[in-house]
């Protein structure tokens, strides 16, 4: 059977040094650093994690972030992205890291005004989180080269001024736990990308500003808001 319309292109994230990682799904965890949970009005304790999704083609390696329509409060959230080479259901914590292909620096861009409204009205979060090009991402680096970072600085600056500064060690739910818990609710598979939450200091950006995000041992990205 042939397709009745042209199939959409495969979404892929460049790999440092060459090659493309094809993306299947994008999962995100909320409030995974205690100080950020507090700034969002939440509880820093280890309450069960919650998840939402972005669209695969929201991942954008271009280094340009088009300020989205219908919002006047678009905020940055620097996050460690985890790319899976394999998945499954009910993955044990001890086997979770064996599913990881590599890591990247990403920014979970958020229409905060629409998120606040969605929360207040108990509506879904997609309108705030899953808009076009809402996840600038740097090149993936393979775990075979850098290992599995569990500590190290995670930072974001806007026009050279430090906004977010944390350490991967401050994650409430660690990468293996995130994979294990997600796999209790979703069948994970090769191509899935997980954004692992943001440290404190989220804030708004404006057109013309430049975001620089870095994670020690993983990389750095520069993204212009256009
Ligand atoms: Mn986030």
Query: Which domains are assigned to the chain?
Result: 12-218 (3.90.850.10)
Determine the pLDDT at residue 196: 98
Determine the pLDDT at residue 46: 78
Rounded to an integer, what is the distance from CA 91 to the centroid of its chain?
21
- How many C-beta neighbours within 10 Å does residue 88 have? 15
Do residues 50 and 159 make contact, with C-beta atoms less than 8 angstroms apart? Answer: no
Which element (helix H / strand E) includes 100?
Answer: strand 100-107
Do residues 45 and 183 make contact, with C-beta atoms less than 8 angstroms apart? Answer: no
Cβ within 8 Å of residue 202, ≥6 positions away? 36, 39, 75, 76, 77, 110, 112, 163, 164
Q: What is the DSSP letter of 180?
A: H
Ligand 1 mean position, distance from CA 152 (Å): 18
Ligand 1 mean position, distance from CA 40 (Å): 11
Pairing label, strands 135-136, 78-84: unpaired
pLDDT beneath 70: ranges in the chain: 44
Neighbours of ion ligand 1 (CB under 5 A): 77, 108, 198
Ligand 1 mean position, distance from CA 95 (Å): 25
Determine the pLDDT at residue 205: 98
Ligand 1 mean position, distance from CA 5 (Å): 34
Do residues 127 and 58 make contact, with C-beta atoms less than 8 angstroms apart? Answer: no
Ligand 1 mean position, distance from CA 214 (Å): 15
Determine the pLDDT at residue 72: 98
- How many C-beta neighbours within 10 Å does residue 180 have? 20
Ligand 1 mean position, distance from CA 129 (Å): 9
Ligand 1 mean position, distance from CA 145 (Å): 26
Determine the pLDDT at residue 38: 82
């Amino acid at each position: 059977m042939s397709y009745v319309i042209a199939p959409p292109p495969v979404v892929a994230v460049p790999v440092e040094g060459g090659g493309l990682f094809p993306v299947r799904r994008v999962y995100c965890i909320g409030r995974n650093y205690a100080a950020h949970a507090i700034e969002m009005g939440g509880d820093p304790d280890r309450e069960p994690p919650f998840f939402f999704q972005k669209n695969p083609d929201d991942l954008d390696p271009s280094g340009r972030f088009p300020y989205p329509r219908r919002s006047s409060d678009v905020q940055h959230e620097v996050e460690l992205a985890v790319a899976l080479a394999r998945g499954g259901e009910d993955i044990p914590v001890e086997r979770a890291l064996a599913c990881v292909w590599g890591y990247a620096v990403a920014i979970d861009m958020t229409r905060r005004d629409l998120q606040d409204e969605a929360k207040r009205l108990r509506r879904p979060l997609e309108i705030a989180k899953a808009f076009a090009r809402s996840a600038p991402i740097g090149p993936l680096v393979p775990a075979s080269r850098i290992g599995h970072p569990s500590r190290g600085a995670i930072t974001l600056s806007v026009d050279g001024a430090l906004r977010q500064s944390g350490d991967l060690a401050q994650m409430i739910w660690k990468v293996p736990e995130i994979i294990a818990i997600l796999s209790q609710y979703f069948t994970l598979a090769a191509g899935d990308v997980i954004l692992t939450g943001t440290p404190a200091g989220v804030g708004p950006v404006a057109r013309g500003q430049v975001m620089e995000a870095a994670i020690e041992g993983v990389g750095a990205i520069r993204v212009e808001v256009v």
